[in-house]
Structure 1
Amino acid sequence: MPLHPDQCYEALKARDARFDGLFFVGVSTTGIYCRPVCAVRMPGRDRCSFYSNAAAAEAAGYRPCLRCRPELAPGEAPMDTARLVADLAVARIEAGALSDADMDTLAAEFCLSSRQLRRLVKHEYGVTPIELAQTRRLLMAKQLLTDTQLKVADIAFASGFASVRRFNHLFRSRYRLNPTALRGKRVASPQQTTICLKLGYRPPLNWAALALFLTQRGAPCVEQLQEGQYLRTIRIGACRGWIAVTQDTQRGLLLIQASPSLLPVLAQLRARLRHLFDMDANPTVIDGHLAADTHLAALIEHNPGLRVPGTFDGFELALRAVLGQQISVKAATTLFGRFCTFFGAPIETPFDGLDHLPPDADTLAQASLQQIVERGLTRKRAQTVQALAAASAAGSLRLDPGADLAQGKAALADIPGIGPWTTEYIAMRALADPNAFPASDLVLLKAMDATRPAQIKAMAEAWQPWRAYAAMHLWQQASTGG
């Protein structure tokens, strides 16, 4: 958001949750920066300075508030196309790109030099990519120190630091605290066998609809919903494990329990979960825009805070989309379950029936056409699956929010058997395009009393740039019958 200091101060006085994550306030007399919802005593206007992100506040010399905890603030959804490259680069940094590679490697993904990328990010965000990565690592470490009993060394490495010495030095110099001081006199609990994470979101969040949408289109051996708790198996690189997610409505958080095996990839896990649950959406802005349409207004009133479910893995989502072409959701779920049990690796979890990982691109790219056909596909559909897996395995098809949207959609369209509906659906969920819209979807056509995709596209003009959210409301209406 544009940082107009007087407007920011009015939002700060109101402690308006709609501005949480859109800016941070630094207070000169304390040297601390806070979220606009912080419950501390209101500072005077002359003591406040405002920043668009946590890294900018820290670059100005402020340290994070221990009460409102800036690391739990919801992020800002990418909207401004003029900032597209910078936003994509920052998304990659948030997912740990600079922990796994250097600036030259990251810049090459955008066909830039490291100097060009540094200048671009600095211009748009006010800080360098290295400063952003450093703040991300420190805030991740701060959350783990506060919310878990993990060893300091484990936290340092899990947060992306190359050494404990470097972590301790930065934490002390930046936050003026010894890392262990955050824990006070708490005694380590020997019963703690899982990793605890918290994800902040802007309320409202229709958690029930979100979790149900995900599990109804998955396979019980990979994803389940048990009494409001979302469960799924996880693969990130060589790490395998599971998560269990519940909602804390009072604090506006999702609470995640993760298996200890995922400790080495916590930064990537956190980024993927934010995408999976669409944590960076601003429902006040989105619902307010869509409610100008009379039909959508009634649906939004009935289901406020509806999110666009993302995906934990782009290839997995694309595979599901191909398997679900021109068949019912139930039939597609059955097919995907067969693929998981045959091509996916078994895994042990504490939950009954949650015992397989979904198949990865490499495995399906190496599978024979006959093996794929025998899972219940036509030969033509099996060839599409093979081509999709081959493109993903080779790296010519990237399906994640950090990928270039136009390139991703073009690469999908080049695969025989993938048409406009599949491309838009994958863009909507895997590429995080808030304006994606599968106009040929039969449910959407029926909901809007249209007979041709061109008709519904015309109706959806006014819904831009939030057409994906409009689609979710119309699908939700069809699934509930109301």
Structure 2
Amino acid sequence: MTDTKTEVAAGTAGALEAVGATGVTGAPLDEETRYRAVGSRDARFDGVFFFGVATTGIYCRPSCPAVTPKRRNVSFYPTAAAAQAHGFRACRRCRPDAVPGSPEWNVRADVVGRAMRMIGDGVVDREGVPGLAGRLGYSTRQVQRQLTAELGAGPVALARAQRAHTARVLLQTTELPVTEIAFASGFASVRQFNATIRAVYARTPTALRAESGTGTGTTADTRTGTNARTALAAGVPLRLAHRGPYAAREVFDLLAAEAVPGIEEVVGAPGTRTYRRTLRLPYGTGLVSVDEHSPGPWLDARIRLTELRDLATAVQRLRRLLDLDADPYAVAERLGADPVLAAEVAARPGVRSPGTAEPEEFAIRTLVGPAEAARLVTRHGLPLDTPCGGLTHVFPAPAELTAHPVAGPLARALADDTVRLDPGADRDASAAALAGVPGVGAEAVAAIRVRALGDPDVAVPGVRGREEWRPWRSYAARYLGRG
């Protein structure tokens, strides 16, 4: 019987010494190396690649606890979507759709990396492939060709895999009617939804829901939408998987120190704290909470939305904020070899380089400081229909702050897209545009590049960077207390 929350890594992170940490900076993994990772059930590789088994027709994560299949029956895929495109369905034991995201997309600044970040943010669901291509500055044919050649699946298939995962979460954690879940997950029709769920999970939506053990399988589809939404008011519970050790205390210390009243709060004692904040999302607003303590390789979260179509986007925002798709093994392997950082890396495993859930908000807060940011929330923020604890507003959109004496120039640049900070933005181009905005100095550009653009390799002013730290200079700054 499965938990009512999204499952995460079932295997243990074994010591695959012959392979070492994967990292996105090392040599590409060959198939024999991948097979050894599968044989060792090494959770460090979850999300880095997937494998299909010809004799069963299923695909798994490397840490799957099932008996290791024979090498001749195994094929490897860079994404879950590629495995699905080759006719494999998701394993019921290891839940390969619930692994941490590949750390490669955080590091890469090329078109494929940018495209994957935007697909994760829901751009294809909202704007279609033409919208994705337009944001990337390429033709739809070029985007399709590049993604298919490198990832084994095009943007539609990659978005389809994400929709299937979102649907499973909603089926197994809420009492919403199946029809409503279909559209909330981003599917264009119930027929498309049913066909995808059968293809990916080899079960009907009703059967998939019944597996959750929540008791919703026999009653949920007969409930009214009003009752279902009342049940959803407490939020969708999730487990946000991460790879390897996670220095939660340091992340929550930072969140507590930066929290702006009205839109953020950290409650509870250190070690058992909960971070809560509001979100401005494509279709509505959201309220999210994340717990510091976790018994496994995940963080427990809860997401409450005015529009369920925003679920996938809200999850990705949280993952970027908490740096959950990082590869701590690769970071430690590179930085731990440097005598300047070796002791710190050994003493503080799993240090992360947090991002932000609201890039434009972070940029403006960087310029005006915390006290003025709080005043902006009170004066210009969007009030929540129902305040929750200390959360009362959503931070104002840039268009509402263009007359501000300090933030005005940056707000105008953000509002007219002169500066882009979305997940698919070109980091170099955005940094150059930021540097051209009056009042935005080098230190602010660096901070925005690290946090809002999620760049893992920024030379923070005041930190004497070393070439050996690349591509993890942002993490080096965290270890040195300067991030």
TM over 0.5: yes
Deviations 1:58-99 (A, max 9, x none): 111110112211121111123698871012112211211111
Q: CA deviation at 1:197?
A: 2.6
Q: CA deviation at 1:423?
A: 0.7
Q: State the partner residue of 1:201.
A: 242
Q: Which amino acid letter does the alignment assign opposite residue 365 of structure 2?
A: R
- Structure 2 distance, partners of 1:401, 1:302, is 32
Q: State the partner residue of 1:472.
A: 478
Deviations 1:254-275 (A, max 9, x none): 2221114241211211221111
Gaps spanning 5+ residues in structure 2: where? Answer: 1-23, 221-226
Instruction: Choose the corresponding residue for 1:50, options 72, 76, 100.
Output: 76
Deviations 1:11-37 (A, max 9, x none): 112111211111111112211111111
Q: Which amino acid letter does the alignment assign opposite residue 296 of structure 1?
A: L
Q: CA deviation at 1:301?
A: 2.3
SS at match of 1:346: strand
Q: CA deviation at 1:467?
A: 0.4
List aligned pairs for 1:58-97, cutoff 5 A. 58-78=84-104, 84-97=110-123
- Structure 2 distance, partners of 1:294, 1:136, is 42
Alpha carbons of structure 1 residues 245 and 364: separation in structure 2 relative to 1, 3 Å: same
List aligned pairs for 1:11-160, cutoff 5 A. 11-78=37-104, 84-160=110-186
Q: Which amino acid letter does the alignment assign opposite residue 420 of structure 1?
A: A
Instruction: Choose the corresponding residue for 2:255, options 210, 214, 224.
Output: 214
Q: State the partner residue of 1:402.
A: 424
Instruction: Choose the corresponding residue for 1:347, options 370, 384, 388.
Output: 384
- Structure 1 distance, partners of 2:352, 2:428, is 23
Q: CA deviation at 1:476?
A: 6.9
- Structure 2 distance, partners of 1:103, 1:51, is 22
Q: Which amino acid letter does the alignment assign opposite residue 187 of structure 1?
A: G
Q: Which amino acid letter does the alignment assign opposite residue 115 of structure 1?
A: R
Alpha carbons of structure 1 residues 320 and 283: separation in structure 2 relative to 1, 3 Å: same
Q: State the partner residue of 1:359.
A: 396
SS at match of 2:301: strand
Q: Say if 1:347 and 1:355, in contact at 8 Å, map to a contact too.
A: yes
- Structure 1 distance, partners of 2:88, 2:477, is 42
Q: State the partner residue of 1:321.
A: 366
Instruction: Choose the corresponding residue for 1:304, options 344, 349, 372.
Output: 349
Q: Please report the TM-score for the alignment, with normalisation by the length of structure 2.
A: 0.86
Alpha carbons of structure 1 residues 83 and 466: separation in structure 2 relative to 1, 3 Å: closer
Deviations 1:25-62 (A, max 9, x none): 11122111111111122222222211111011111111
Instruction: Choose the corresponding residue for 2:371, options 322, 331, 334.
Output: 334
Q: CA deviation at 1:124?
A: 1.4
Instruction: Choose the corresponding residue for 2:322, options 277, 281, 285.
Output: 277
- Structure 1 distance, partners of 2:242, 2:305, is 25
Alpha carbons of structure 1 residues 152 and 84: separation in structure 2 relative to 1, 3 Å: same
Alpha carbons of structure 1 residues 183 and 237: separation in structure 2 relative to 1, 3 Å: closer
More helix by share: 1
Larger RCO (CA within 8 A; separation ≥ 6): 2
1:223 aligns with 2:264: yes
SS at match of 1:102: helix
Q: Which amino acid letter does the alignment assign opposite residue 196 of structure 2?
A: L
Gaps spanning 5+ residues in structure 1: where? Answer: 324-331, 373-381, 445-455, 478-482
Q: Say if 1:3 and 1:51, in contact at 8 Å, map to a contact too.
A: no
Q: Which amino acid letter does the alignment assign opposite residue 257 of structure 1?
A: R
How many residue pairs align between the two structures?
Answer: 438
Q: Say if 1:247 and 1:253, in contact at 8 Å, map to a contact too.
A: no
Q: Say if 2:172 and 2:214, in contact at 8 Å, map to a contact too.
A: no
Q: CA deviation at 1:180?
A: 1.0
Q: Say if 1:3 and 1:50, in contact at 8 Å, map to a contact too.
A: no
Q: Say if 2:239 and 2:300, in contact at 8 Å, map to a contact too.
A: yes
Provide the identity percentage: 39
Q: State the partner residue of 1:187.
A: 215
Q: State the partner residue of 2:8.
A: none
- Structure 2 distance, partners of 1:294, 1:129, is 43
- Structure 2 distance, partners of 1:475, 1:194, is 35
Q: CA deviation at 1:120?
A: 1.0
RMSD across aligned C-alpha pairs, in angstroms?
2.2
Q: Say if 2:249 and 2:292, in contact at 8 Å, map to a contact too.
A: no
Q: Say if 2:114 and 2:136, in contact at 8 Å, map to a contact too.
A: no
Q: CA deviation at 1:211?
A: 2.0
Q: Please report the TM-score for the alignment, with normalisation by the length of structure 1.
A: 0.86
282-291 vs 196-205, which moves further: 196-205
Q: CA deviation at 1:153?
A: 2.0
Alpha carbons of structure 1 residues 298 and 476: separation in structure 2 relative to 1, 3 Å: farther
SS at match of 2:471: coil
Alpha carbons of structure 1 residues 81 and 313: separation in structure 2 relative to 1, 3 Å: closer
